[in-house]
Amino acid sequence: MSGHSKWATIKRSKAKTDAARGKSFTKVIREISAAARIGGGDPNGNPRLRLAIDKSKSINMPADNIKRAIDKATGGGEGAILDEVTYEGFGPAGVAVMVECITDNKMRTLNEIRFIFTRNGGNLGEGGSVGWMFKKKGVLHFEKSKVNEDQLMADAIDAGAEDISTEESLITVETAPDKFEQVKNALSAKKYEPATAEITMVPSNTIKLDGEDAHKVLKLVDALEENDDVQKVHANFDIPDEIITAA
């Protein structure tokens, strides 16, 4: 499983402070704005926007916030021009890291991301330096304790899933990007509720980490996640659940 996917899923299961929820609001609003600007303001014809709206509802964002973000992005209101940029680099122990950002100032964001990498034992690379290690996939995570594992696997395959894997506490269902909505809707119709569901970048292989290296990498990922401009972090580490949970 993608290091960031496991990290994000377990983090979401922890209690959130008001400040953390506010930061989540900021990130999701930017994703809604970018999705609406690129694909239009109708979620029925814009899968990316529909997914962003689903995410906003999962964190209890008010409907007015969603509407304002869409209106600004599609010309119904004034707002800053936002650019999407992706940075690539390496963390401690040679872990590959991709950082997706939405920003109103690319130079500021570049400097901030470079500083975070350097401060946490990594280094920012050139475009393409690690991107070849990842493939875009639809990914749904389910908590083992809340589903019948064998039945979920059978239903996911019937729905068109590409791959299913299990770990200590999670079941991961992978799809082709263009099959993501089909699989997600089919499983939803059968009353499965994923802990997370997104189109993301999945590494072709992972680096197993433990001890000090694991903590250093998680510290880097956490620092990147804390940056307001960062939307998603993808990394190819594999760290035991107990270390992630304790982080």
pLDDT score recorded for residue 72: 83
pLDDT in tens, 100-136: 999 989 999 999 999 999 999 999 999 899 999 999 9
pLDDT score recorded for residue 104: 86
Confidence bin at 191 (pLDDT 50/70/90): very high
Total structural domains in the chain?
Answer: 2
Residues 185, 76 share a domain: no
Residues 155, 54 share a domain: no
Residues 195, 138 share a domain: yes
Residues 178, 116 share a domain: no
Most confident of 153-162, 168-177, 223-232: 153-162
Q: What pTM does this model have?
A: 0.79
Mean pLDDT of the chain: 86
Residues 61, 39 share a domain: yes
- Domain hosting residue 37, numbered range: 1-133+204-238
Residues 90, 29 share a domain: yes
Residue 52 domain flag: yes
pLDDT score recorded for residue 18: 47
pLDDT score recorded for residue 1: 45
pLDDT score recorded for residue 74: 83
Contact of 96 with 232, CB cutoff 8 Å: no
Pick the closest to residue 112 from 99, 127, 128, 97 (CA basis): 99
The enclosing domain of 138 has a CATH number of: 3.30.70.980
pLDDT of residue 30 exceeding 70 = yes
Residues 156, 213 share a domain: no
Q: What residues are paired with 201 via a beta bridge? A: 136
pLDDT score recorded for residue 244: 66
Beta strand pairing status for 237-238 and 207-208?
parallel
Contact of 127 with 133, CB cutoff 8 Å: no
Interval 60-87 mean pLDDT: 82
pLDDT of residue 95 exceeding 60 = yes
